[in-house]
Amino acid sequence: MTVRPPAEIGMPLEEVETPALLVDLDVFEANLKRMANDAAAKGIKLRPHSKTHKSPVIALRQMALGAVGVCCQKVGEAEAMVLGGVPDVFISNEVVGRNKVARLAALARQARVAVCADDPAHVAALSEAAQSFSVELAVFVEVDVGAGRCGVAPGQPALDLARQVAAAPSLRFAGLQAYHGSAQHKRTIAERREMIQSAAAKVRECTDLLAAAGIACELVSGAGTGTYPLEIASGAWQELQAGSYIFMDADYARNLDEAGQPISDFEQSLFVYATVMSRPRPEMAIVDAGLKCFSVDSGLPVVADLPGVEYVGAADEHGKLAIADTAGGPRIGDKVRLIPGHCDPTVNLYDWFTGVRNGRVETLWPIAARGAVY
Amino acid sequence: MTVRPPAEIGMPLEEVETPALLVDLDVFEANLKRMANDAAAKGIKLRPHSKTHKSPVIALRQMALGAVGVCCQKVGEAEAMVLGGVPDVFISNEVVGRNKVARLAALARQARVAVCADDPAHVAALSEAAQSFSVELAVFVEVDVGAGRCGVAPGQPALDLARQVAAAPSLRFAGLQAYHGSAQHKRTIAERREMIQSAAAKVRECTDLLAAAGIACELVSGAGTGTYPLEIASGAWQELQAGSYIFMDADYARNLDEAGQPISDFEQSLFVYATVMSRPRPEMAIVDAGLKCFSVDSGLPVVADLPGVEYVGAADEHGKLAIADTAGGPRIGDKVRLIPGHCDPTVNLYDWFTGVRNGRVETLWPIAARGAVY
């Protein structure tokens, strides 16, 4: 059962059923253009991450502005993108399990498909499936450039695995996956710069070794919204994987620039629209959006439009707003826009983006890969 | 687009695609029976909360064991229950918004429907919609018995609102909603007992006032998995709303009994099944289940089957497992069962329950109200 949309096209914003996931289309489009222009100006490829939006509609908008394709994290996400018309998907992650690897190889008959490996076991499974489906899979060797998650160690282990990929039937060594996830949310530019400089040195260690071994490394792919200017500046990457820039969130808004001010390259376009359902006390309002409407891993949502009103507690279906001006504050039935703490897992809770411009619903985009975790 | 099931019926557990939401059917059925028997033995009604499972299949199983109906938190949840065959739904929450209240009244033409109010604005809107659809809505006055969320203050405010409900056309004053949410997860029995004794005193203050005013209070409804024996013992409630007992979670497992031991009335039946996708270092494994597969508001998931292995970090699509025995530990492709920190918002991330018995998939239950937040 798919949840019906919370709005009709043409409806005034105030009539949208809540909780709903709103996209401010003017801001969203400006964010898309800003990143596309940045990448084009610097001569670097842009392959935005679809784990943020999970919507082929948005992926195609990104490609219309020059993106070369999208990244995905899961086979199911890649399937949704390809079925939605995206011709080029890179699963920037390892894929494990006989059935999943078979689905990946099968998908390569419908679109350009790439994937990561960080272990000989991945290489063997991918090669077998690619042969079975008579396709060639592009395989990136994932290198741990500091995030401490997946990836081989830089240097010889990366070279060894690249050799295995290059030698495996029906696989093509496509380059290196080098994403420093934990650098994205470091607050100061100094911290982020140090981490990306360190990552760049690790990338160069690998590309130098590959070059010395006569193995062509077509592409190094990585970077996120929090650090991408640093990856560009380093010259070590040829492709950007940023995702969150299209929406932003309360956590990214806490990143600081050179001057110690919140970064302002991209503006908030994603909101959870909520209704005040109870006013039990003058200093408190209860809204209808709680833990099933936000991921709170990076903190509680932030109230967008009401100064002096703070979202201070989330339960399954309720949010508590603390109200500074106890003589005023919102009334039962009033609607408020809330900024999610973390955009990606918040989007994954919804079936529809409600696109709004000039106070009116202009579009409803299905979140086709919502819940596509396998 | 609805996500296809991660399994086929008859499949061995090990072949289930991951991440998947597993239900251990033997344990689940024992939990259902245990609560049904407890309620029957004490002569108290059981109206389990469907916000936990969001599945009419499970609701009907609960009713087959004696439950009088289900609670819901949202109109969309109630719609899914009624369409799935549940004849009696109580939205134990306030419903705000012209369209939502209209949907609620319309639903009362298909099933027994009750709802809460804590403000005259709710009463007026419900009465208007009920008249418009020519139905009678049962309305509970929600009283804040200590949770500090929705609800009128105990005493005169509750009486005043009950009078307004009783006087409103097409509404019936059905009783009191008295749920102490914040008591459910207090760790010691002493804390929980003190809070529920305090809540019971507030309930009695209301019921005494109502009786003195000649207003019949048919029913006081409330209680949750963490405290329900205390509500029963107090004699102040006539209906239980527990939900989590069917699945349990890592957070409830931290509640202690009289002897200071973890409570053991109900056992863990709900698991997220995950695959080890990377083994970058001997002391670490990466699984394919992260923030889109668990709500982490009540802590990280707990590894069920592997002693010495701990889930120590969640990213969007990855979980880090720390491995004590660096000479051993799981291999790439191995599958592990993880216990969610908080069951309700975790269930809301999935489209299917995969029911397992004796190591084999026995059933697939759609989570029909997944995402039904409005």
Looking at residue A1, its pLDDT comes to: 54
> What's the complex ipTM?
0.96
Answer yes or no: do B277 and A93 touch at CB < 8 A: yes
Residue B172 and residue B108 in contact, taking contact as beta carbons nearer than 8 Å: no
Residue of B nearest to A318 (CA): B149
Q: Which of A246, A202, A279 is nearest to A57 (CA)?
A: A246
pLDDT in tens, A78-101: 999 999 999 999 999 999 999 999
Q: How many Å separate Cα A127 from the centre of its chain? A: 28
Cβ contacts of B96 on chain A, cutoff 8 Å: 275-277, 288, 332-333
Answer yes or no: do A19 and B93 touch at CB < 8 A: no
Answer yes or no: do A314 and B291 touch at CB < 8 A: no
pLDDT in tens, B256-309: 998 999 888 899 999 999 999 999 999 999 999 999 999 999 999 999 989 999
Q: Which of A192, A271, A218, A247 is nearest to A51 (CA)?
A: A247
pLDDT in tens, A296-335: 999 999 999 899 999 999 999 999 999 998 888 999 999 9
Select from A19, A96, A295 the Cβ nearest to the Cβ of B332.
Answer: A96
Residue of B nearest to A2 (CA): B2
pLDDT reading at B226 higher than 90: yes
Å between B41 CA and nearest CA of chain A: 30
Select from B20, B93, B96 the Cβ nearest to the Cβ of A317.
Answer: B93
Residue of A nearest to B314 (CA): A297
For residue B10, give every residue at least 6 positions away whose Cβ sits within 8 Å of its Cβ, in sequence order, or none.
B360, B361
Residue B330 and residue B309 in contact, taking contact as beta carbons nearer than 8 Å: yes
Cβ contacts of A123 on chain B, cutoff 8 Å: none
pLDDT in tens, B180-216: 999 999 999 999 999 999 999 999 999 999 999 999 9
Answer yes or no: do A292 and B93 touch at CB < 8 A: no
Q: What are phi and psi of A324, to 5 degrees?
A: -70, -45
Q: What are phi and psi of B113, to 5 degrees?
A: -130, 130
Residue A120 and residue A149 in contact, taking contact as beta carbons nearer than 8 Å: no
Select from A19, A80, A370 the Cβ nearest to the Cβ of B373.
Answer: A19
Answer yes or no: do A374 and B320 touch at CB < 8 A: no
Q: In which region does residue A252 sit, left (phi positive, over 0), alpha (psi from -120 to 50) or beta (all else)?
A: alpha
Count contacts between A and B (CB, < 8 Å): 191
Q: Which residues of A229-245 are buried (b: 16+ CB within 10 A; e: fewer)?
A: bbbbebebbbbbbbbbb
Select from A73, A181, A292 the Cβ nearest to the Cβ of B345.
Answer: A292
pLDDT in tens, B95-123: 999 999 999 999 999 999 999 999 999 99
Answer yes or no: do A315 and B345 touch at CB < 8 A: no
Cα(B335)–Cα(A266) distance, integer angstroms: 40
Does the pTM surpass 0.95? The reply is yes
